[in-house]
Chain A
Amino acid sequence: MYGTGLAKGLMLTLRHFVESYVDDVRYGFRKYHHSTDNFGIRQGTKTKGVITVQYPDEKIAVPERFRFVPFLIIEDEDHPTRAGKDWCTSCGICAKVCPPQCIWIVRGNDPDTGRPVPEPEAFFIDIDICMNCGFCAEYCPFDAIKMDHDYELASYDRTTHHIHDKERLSKPNSYWRSIAPTRAYDEMLVRGTWEHKDAAKEARRGAASARGSAPQPAAQTEAETASAPAAAAEAPAATSEATAASAEGATPWSEDEAKREERRRKALERKAKRAARRGQ
Chain B
Amino acid sequence: MELNLQELNATEFPVPTELENNIAITSLSQLYNWGRRNSMWPMLFGLACCAIEMIATASSRFDFSRFGFEVMRATPRQADLMIVSGTVTKKMVVPIVRLYNQMPEPKYVLAMGACASGGGPFKEGYNVVSGMDKYLPVDVYVPGCPPTPQALLYGMIALQRKIDGQSIANGDDVPWYGVGTAEATPVPVLGPDIIDPRQMDMIRRQAEASARDLDRLGGRELPAATQLVAAKVETRETAAEAEPIDDDALSFVLPAGAAPWAEAEDIREKRRLRALARKALRASRRAAAVEEG
**Interface hub of A49, A121, A154 (most chain B Cβ within 10 A):** A154
Contact B158 A154 (CB under 8 A): yes
User: Which of A51-59, A208-216, A232-240, A271-279 is the contact stretch?
Assistant: A51-59
Contact B151 A151 (CB under 8 A): yes
Cα distance, A56 to B67, chains bound together (Å): 11
With an 8 A cutoff between CB atoms, is B247 at the interface?
Answer: no
Cα distance, A69 to B143, chains bound together (Å): 9
Q: Which of A134-188 contact B (CB under 8 A)?
A: 151-163, 165-166
With A53-B61, A122-B272, A160-B246: A68-B144 Cβ-Cβ less than 8 Å: yes
Contact A127 B143 (CB under 8 A): yes
With A52-B60, A53-B61, A153-B151: A129-B121 Cβ-Cβ less than 8 Å: yes
Bitwise interface map of A from 191 to 207 toward B, beta carbon under 8 Å scored 1, else 0? 00000000000000000
With an 8 A cutoff between CB atoms, is A190 at the interface?
Answer: no
With an 8 A cutoff between CB atoms, is B100 at the interface?
Answer: no
Q: Which residues of A lie under 8 Å from residue B122 when comparing CB positions?
A: 100
With an 8 A cutoff between CB atoms, is B77 at the interface?
Answer: no
Partner of B143 from A59, A106, A153 at Cβ < 8 Å: A153
With an 8 A cutoff between CB atoms, is B201 at the interface?
Answer: no
With A84-B282, A165-B250: A151-B147 Cβ-Cβ less than 8 Å: yes
Contact A156 B154 (CB under 8 A): no
Contact B151 A122 (CB under 8 A): no
Q: Which of B79-127 contact A (CB under 8 A)?
A: 111, 114, 117-124
Contact A151 B148 (CB under 8 A): yes
Cα distance, A206 to B123, chains bound together (Å): 48
Partner of B118 from A49, A126, A151 at Cβ < 8 Å: A126
**Nearest CB on A from B210, distance (A):** 28
User: Which of B39-47, B134-142, B179-187, B189-197 is the contact stretch?
Assistant: B134-142
Contact A100 B123 (CB under 8 A): yes
Cα distance, A52 to B67, chains bound together (Å): 13
With an 8 A cutoff between CB atoms, is A99 at the interface?
Answer: yes
Give 17 new A-B contacts, CB below 8 A, not counting A100-B120, A160-B246. A50-B60, A51-B61, A55-B150, A68-B144, A69-B143, A128-B120, A129-B119, A129-B123, A130-B143, A130-B145, A154-B141, A154-B143, A156-B162, A158-B111, A160-B251, A162-B141, A251-B290
With an 8 A cutoff between CB atoms, is B275 at the interface?
Answer: yes
Q: Which residues of A lie under 8 Å from residue B61 when comparing CB positions?
A: 50-53
Going nearest first, the 9 A-B pairs with the smallest beta carbon separation are: A128-B118, A154-B155, A100-B121, A151-B151, A131-B121, A131-B145, A154-B158, A152-B154, A132-B145
Contact B118 A162 (CB under 8 A): yes
Contact B275 A106 (CB under 8 A): yes
Chain B positions near chain A (C-beta within 8 angstroms): 60-63, 66, 111, 114, 117-124, 131, 133, 138-145, 147-148, 150-151, 153-155, 157-158, 162, 243, 246, 250-253, 271-272, 275-276, 279, 282, 286, 289-290, 293
Contact B131 A158 (CB under 8 A): yes
**Nearest CB on B from A190, distance (A):** 28
Bitwise interface map of A from 111 to 134 toward B, beta carbon under 8 Å scored 1, else 0? 100000000011000111111100
* Nearest-neighbor residue (CB-CB) of A250 within chain B: B293
Contact A60 B150 (CB under 8 A): yes
**Nearest CB on B from A71, distance (A):** 13
Report how many residues on chain A are interfacial, defined by Cβ distance under 8 Å. Answer: 48
**Nearest CB on A from B154, distance (A):** 4
With an 8 A cutoff between CB atoms, is A92 at the interface?
Answer: no
**Interface hub of B118, B119, B143, B158 (most chain A Cβ within 10 A):** B143
Q: Which of A25-80 contact B (CB under 8 A)?
A: 49-56, 59-60, 62, 68-69
* Nearest-neighbor residue (CB-CB) of B245 within chain A: A159
* Nearest-neighbor residue (CB-CB) of A119 within chain B: B279
Partner of B140 from A128, A155, A162, A250 at Cβ < 8 Å: A155
With A121-B272, A160-B246, A162-B118: A154-B154 Cβ-Cβ less than 8 Å: yes
**Nearest CB on A from B63, distance (A):** 5
Cα distance, A128 to B129, chains bound together (Å): 12
Q: Which residues of A lie under 8 Å from residue B153 when comparing CB positions?
A: 55-56
Cα distance, A56 to B155, chains bound together (Å): 11
Cα distance, A68 to B62, chains bound together (Å): 19
**Nearest CB on B from A155, distance (A):** 5
**Interface hub of A51, A60, A151, A166 (most chain B Cβ within 10 A):** A151
* Nearest-neighbor residue (CB-CB) of A50 within chain B: B61
**Nearest CB on A from B267, distance (A):** 12
Partner of B62 from A52, A84, A166 at Cβ < 8 Å: A52
**Nearest CB on B from A2, distance (A):** 32
Contact B139 A159 (CB under 8 A): no
Cα distance, A165 to B252, chains bound together (Å): 11
Partner of A159 from B140, B162, B243, B275 at Cβ < 8 Å: B243
Partner of B144 from A52, A122, A132 at Cβ < 8 Å: A132
